[in-house]
Chain A
Amino acid sequence: MSVAGPPVAPKAGASRAGRGGAVARAIACAALVSLLGAVPPARAAGDLGFTASVDQTTVGLGETFQLQVTVQGTQTLSAPKPELPALPDFNLLGSSSSQSTSISIINGRMQQQVSITFTYSLSAKRLGQLTIPPCRLSYQGQDYATQPITMTVVKAPQGQAAPMPQATPGTGGQVPIEGNLLLSAVPDRRTVYVGEPVMLAVSLATRLQVTGGSWESMPSFDGFWVEDVYEADRLNFQRQTIGGREFAVSTLKRVALFPLAAGDAKIKPLAFNATVMQGSRDFFGMFGQQASARVESKPLTIHVLPLPETGRPAEFTGGVGRFTMTASLDHTTSTNSEPVNLVVRIAGTGNVKLIEKPAIAPVQGLRILDPEVKDDDHVENGVVQGTKTLRYPIIPQADGKFEIPPIKMAYFDPKAKTYRTLEAGPLELTASGAVSNAPVTEASGLKVLGTDIAYIKSDASSLATTPFGTPWWPNVLYLASLGTIFWALWYRGHRERLLSDRGYARRLRSSGLVRKRLREAEKQLKSRDERGFHAALAQAVTGYLGDRFDLDAQALTREQLRAELDRRRVKPEVAAAVMDVLERCDVGRFSPGALGDHDSGALFQRARDALGQV
């Protein structure tokens, strides 16, 4: 923590010449420059207002009151600082200044009204009628003075402080740090139960001018759960009397400490480094010297009582204080296993954050998940208050109407020194279309205790090995299948051509027929039937040619046959051979004996070769 910045409040009595004075001085300088340069003097002079006032005319002895001196003018940014008269009957405790500007446009001309107020904190030194003499201000050759103010000083009421020591401006004394700068840590009680908060206020009390400071180390509180309540970002001094002496006191820190365990809990001293203004006698702090002063609080011991063992309910979840509990469902129906939120709200004073979630009894067919927890606490009237909101998502796992049994939570009431049990509910929930993935086994009284891998297999009868990878023979099957399809396509085409193409059919038939006829001729040859052989051979040749070229060969003359063979591009020597065979056959048929045995065999061979070449 660092306390810095303009630290002195208007009432801060310990400050003799704070930064407020410095600010006023700076403003005054700026005003002087602007007045010399830009502002028509006569006009500004004529518009200057200068007044003094006090917030109360009757004060107690030593009581602080405010003297306000205001300088007002148009256009001017500021005015020179007023001269405070000698005040022998008063202590000057501090000063500050404030400035306000208002702009108005009248008849198209802008007018600026500036007022600077210097506030001085004073206290009277003696009883009776005292007079604050006029304050004076010299500006543009003109003198201004305020009216004198008469103060009535009466005896201070009971409990009011004695007057401040003579460590005021003008006396020139150095105030020793020892005894005039204190750090106090004050618990609101010293005996508490475990979990019952102790409010600890840490404050800085001073009779010096303290302008800032910081913690030597972050305060730590072992054995406590700490909730920060207040952390000063600036010193804000209040007057307070300690041991008959008046101090300026600023609260630095306020924490709520929740003891975590029974026994004597020690709070270690806290250390603060304060920045102190020393040695100034000048009102505006011109010659002030800053010094750092270390101050330490006294160690504290908090006696922490254990929570009583006797009478502790099973539902106790660590709450210490005073609480109320409510429970509600955000929806009372659920379709298709849509989650429903059970909201449990625990509110009250005490260690709200440290309360553990209350147990919710399992409900058959409902899956109640762990809650989402939200804490919200604050301090009001020195008491830690808060709300703990627990949001339990509930997923219905079966259809039907469910009753969530009353939710119970017990806490300890340190004031009454007893345990108290809270109850909320029961609540009802209707579910439909739930995904029934709830383990049925649990419903039938069985219990799933855990999961493990399935056991090993013991059947050794089928331990044939299966190699990794795939076998080779499917590839053969694929090829064979494709072959089958192509064969089928060819066969189909062939069959259709046989039916539609006579020449094709005859051509296909020819080789079979010619073989048959040649065999016939061979038979004749073997039975030495010369005539029959030649006739059969001639028929075989003409028949083959007829089938092969789709001709009516029997009806053709030899010349026509020869022409057809040429037309079909049969080789001339083959055609000649064929014609020669036919010629010889004719001779053999019609004049047997003209040819010898030897010739018949050779002729058969020639006919065969010739037909093979066709």
Chain B
Amino acid sequence: MLMNLLFVVALVLPPVEAFNHGNQLYAQKDYAGAAKSYEQALQAGPNARVYYNLGNAMFKAGHVGKAVLDYRRARYLDPRDPDVKANLAFARSFRVDKTPVLPSPFAAMMGAALHTLSHREAATGAAVAFTLGALALALWIVRRWTATLVAAIAFAAVSLWCFASQQAWAAEVAAHPAVVIVPEAGAGSGPSDDAKQILQVHDGTEVRIRETRGDWLLIQLPGGAGGWIKKDAVERVY
């Protein structure tokens, strides 16, 4: 019975052992080994800190695409970590393909502001603030206390902001982002090996998956260019 319980606990909690072992290997510059250890730690479930360390190990092992992938996952879970942001930007600067289209400064600022909360925080915050706002509003309806109206408006604003943030994350997830994880891959005009090659992408390029057909994915770059690529060449972020 006790053994059983311990087993369940070990499965549910991230294996601290694997994490610490990974850190040790990383310090010894065995980056591939560290990455393996972190991946083991992640089997219990996602964790921003482990993803961050895994990203570091991947970057040091020369896998820019995998590093970008793991940093993005870490950012999804903990978007306010400055180390994650810095390393993601750093890893991105090592990519072969440069983003053809940069977002406008306003859009970038809005994006950054909307990604201050994590998806989960935003969803939770929106619901809680909505509930509190609804209670305050109900109280105002019944009792007509001015303070409750003010509180209701304030909670509504907070809820709206959290909701916008949640929608921003939802849109990002719905775009099916993926990262190229092979050094170089060609994208064809159709989902077959003999299709005309129309695009070449390199390690670390971030794309979105628009369609899946068997072993082939239709990817699209931020600029709009796209093509069919082998499933193994990219990995989904979420």
Q: Which residues of A contact B (CB under 8 A)?
A: 451-460, 462-471, 473-475, 477-478, 480-482, 484-485, 487-489, 491-492, 495
Q: With A456-B52, A463-B47, A463-B49 known to touch, is A488 a contact of B137 (CB < 8 Å)?
A: yes
Contacting pair A477 B49 (CB below 8 A):
no
Query: Are the C-beta atoms of A481 and B56 separated by less than 8 Å?
Result: no
Are A466 and B138 also in contact (CB < 8 A) when A456-B56, A477-B131 are?
Answer: no
**Which B residues between 119 and 141 are near A, CB-CB below 8 angstroms?**
119-120, 123-124, 126-128, 130-131, 133-135, 137-139, 141
A463 to B141, Cβ gap below 8 A?
Answer: no
Known A460-B20, A471-B123: A454·B141 in contact at CB below 8 Å = no
What are 16 of the A-B contact pairs (CB < 8 Å)? A454-B56, A457-B49, A463-B14, A463-B16, A463-B19, A463-B49, A463-B50, A464-B47, A477-B131, A478-B130, A484-B135, A485-B138, A488-B137, A488-B141, A489-B141, A491-B141
- Taking CB atoms and an 8 Å cut-off, the chain B residues in 211-238 that contact chain A are 238
The 6 closest A-B pairs by CB, nearest first: A465-B45, A474-B127, A481-B134, A488-B138, A470-B123, A488-B141
Assembly CA distance A457 to B90 (angstroms): 17
Cβ-closest chain A residue relative to B44: A465
The answer to whether A456 and B126 touch across the interface, beta carbons within 8 angstroms, is no
Known: A466-B120, A468-B46. A457 touches B16 (CB 8 A): no
Taking a contact as CB atoms under 8 Å apart, the answer to whether A480 and B131 are in contact is yes
Contacting A at CB under 8 A, from B50-106, are 50, 52-53, 56-57, 59-60, 73, 76-77, 83, 86-87, 90-91
The answer to whether B52 touches A484, judged by C-beta atoms less than 8 angstroms apart, is no
Whether, in the assembled complex, B166 has its beta carbon less than 8 Å from a beta carbon of chain A, the answer is yes
Q: Closest CB of chain A to B51's CB: distance in Å?
A: 10
Determine if B53 and A457 form an interchain contact, defined as CB atoms under 8 angstroms apart.
yes
Complex CA–CA separation, A460 to B50 (angstroms): 9
- Contact present for A487 and B138 (CB under 8 Å): yes
Q: A460-B16, A473-B127, A474-B124 are in contact. Are A485 and B134 (CB under 8 A)?
A: yes
In the complex, A531→B134 CA distance in Å?
56
For residue B45, which residue of chain A has the nearest CB? A465
Most A-side CB within 10 Å, residue of B59, B76, B131, B137:
B131
Would you call A463 and B13 a contact (CB within 8 A)? Answer: yes
Rounded to whole Å, the gap between the CB of A483 and the closest CB of chain B is 9
Query: When A and B form their complex, what is the total count of cross-chain residue pairs whose Cβ atoms lie within 8 Å?
Result: 114
| Residues in chain B within 8 A of chain A (CB atoms) | 12-14, 16, 19-20, 23, 26, 41, 44-50, 52-53, 56-57, 59-60, 73, 76-77, 83, 86-87, 90-91, 118-120, 123-124, 126-128, 130-131, 133-135, 137-139, 141-142, 166, 238
Q: Which residues of the other chain, B, contact A453 by a CB distance below 8 angstroms?
A: 56, 59-60, 86-87, 90-91
What A residues does B139 contact at CB under 8 A?
488
Q: Report the Cα distance A172→B82, complex, angstroms.
A: 98
B123 touches A454 (CB 8 A): no
Q: In the bound complex, what is the Cα–Cα distance between A517 and B57 (angstroms)?
A: 82
| List of A residues within 8 angstroms of B77 by Cβ | 466, 468
Candidates B13, B20, B60, B238; contact of A468 at CB < 8 Å? B238
Interface pair B14/A454, CB less than 8 Å apart: no
Cα A141 to Cα B67 in complex, Å, equals 104
A468 to B170, CA, bound (A): 11
Q: Is the CB of B127 within 8 A of A465?
A: no
Q: Are A492 and B123 in contact (CB under 8 A)?
A: no
Question: Is the Cβ of B49 less than 8 Å from the Cβ of A462?
Answer: yes
In the complex where A458-B23, A465-B14, A474-B127 touch, is A491 in contact with B142 (Cβ < 8 A)? yes
A454, B86: Cβ atoms under 8 Å? yes
Contact of B141 with A466 in the complex, beta carbons under 8 Å: no
B134–A457 touching, CB < 8 Å: no
CA distance A489 to B138 in the complex (A): 7
Given contacts A463-B16, A478-B127, A480-B131, contact A469 B119 (CB under 8 A): yes
Are B26 and A464 within 8 A (Cβ)?
Answer: no
Residues in chain A near residue B123, CB distance under 8 A: 470-471, 474
B46 touches A467 (CB 8 A): yes
Distance of B227 from chain A, by nearest CB (Å): 28
Asked whether A466 and B134 contact (CB < 8 A) given A456-B53, A477-B127, A478-B127, the answer is: no
Among A453, A478, A481, max chain B CB count under 10 A is at: A453
> In the bound complex, what is the Cα–Cα distance between A474 and B138 (angstroms)?
19
Known contacts A470-B166, A488-B141, A457 near B131 by CB under 8 Å:
no
Once the chains are docked, how many angstroms separate the CA of A325 from the CA of B141?
85
Which A residue sits closest to B12, measured CB to CB? A465
Shortest CB–CB separation between residue A88 and chain B, in angstroms?
83
B69 CB → nearest A CB, Å: 13
Give the CA-CA distance A475 to B123 in the complex, in Å: 10
Contact across chains for A456 and B86 when beta carbons are under 8 A apart: no
A470-B119 contact, Cβ under 8 Å, with A457-B53, A492-B141: yes
Instruction: Find out whether the CB atom of B238 lies under 8 angstroms from the CB atom of A454.
Output: no
Alpha-carbon gap, A305 to B53, bound state (A): 61
The closest CB in chain A to the CB of B86 belongs to A454
Q: How far is the CA of A457 from the CA of B19 in the complex (A)?
A: 10
CB < 8 Å neighbour of A465 from B20, B46, B238: B46
Contact B14 A457 (CB under 8 A): no
Give every chain A residue within 8 A of B26 (Cβ-Cβ).
Answer: 456
Provide the residues of chain A in CB contact with B56, threshold 8 Å. 453-456
> In the assembly, what is the distance between CA of A463 and CA of B130, in Å?
30
Query: What residues on A are CB-neighbors of B16 within 8 Å?
Result: 460, 463
A470 to B165, CA, bound (A): 13
A422 to chain B, nearest CB (A): 40
